[in-house]
């Protein structure tokens, strides 16, 4: 699925364009051992992320695509899903595949 969200990366040097608040049209793909259970959680996950300022979500204060992947993995596991892969793409050239902790 896709979602729209804003973020900033406050740890970057002053003057770096990603340090400022900006938005992305994210594309997320998730695989799981139980796709039916996963589908139940994906709607809630979408609602948690779409049209939000990601930095305000605990654990996403510096929301790189790598950190979003790990956060989504933990979020799904806490709800009983067993993800096998989480992929987050924030731009044409920035994508992360996460296979777990």
Pairing of strands 94-98, 52-53: unpaired
Q: Which is the catalytic residue, given 24, 41, 69, 90?
A: 90
Alpha-carbon span 87 to 98, nearest angstrom: 6
Task: Look up 18 and say whether it is catalytic.
Answer: yes
Alpha-carbon span 53 to 26, nearest angstrom: 13
Q: Which is the catalytic residue, given 18, 22, 29, 56?
A: 18
Task: Look up 96 and say whether it is catalytic.
Answer: no
Report yes or no: 34 and 65 within 8 Å, Cβ to Cβ. Answer: no
Q: Which is the catalytic residue, given 4, 29, 51, 56?
A: 51
- Would you please indicate which residues are annotated as catalytic (active-site) residues? 18, 51, 90
């Amino acid at each position: 699925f896709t979602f729209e969200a804003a973020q900033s990366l406050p740890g970057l040097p002053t003057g770096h364009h990603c340090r400022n608040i900006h938005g992305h049209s994210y594309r997320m793909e998730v695989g799981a051992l139980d796709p039916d259970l996963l589908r139940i959680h994906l709607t809630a996950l979408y609602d948690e992320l779409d049209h939000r300022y990601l930095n305000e979500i605990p654990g996403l204060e510096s929301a790189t695509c790598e950190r979003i992947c790990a956060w989504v993995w933990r979020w799904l596991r806490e709800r009983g899903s067993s993800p096998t892969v989480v992929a987050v793409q924030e731009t044409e050239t920035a994508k992360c595949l996460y296979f777990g902790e």
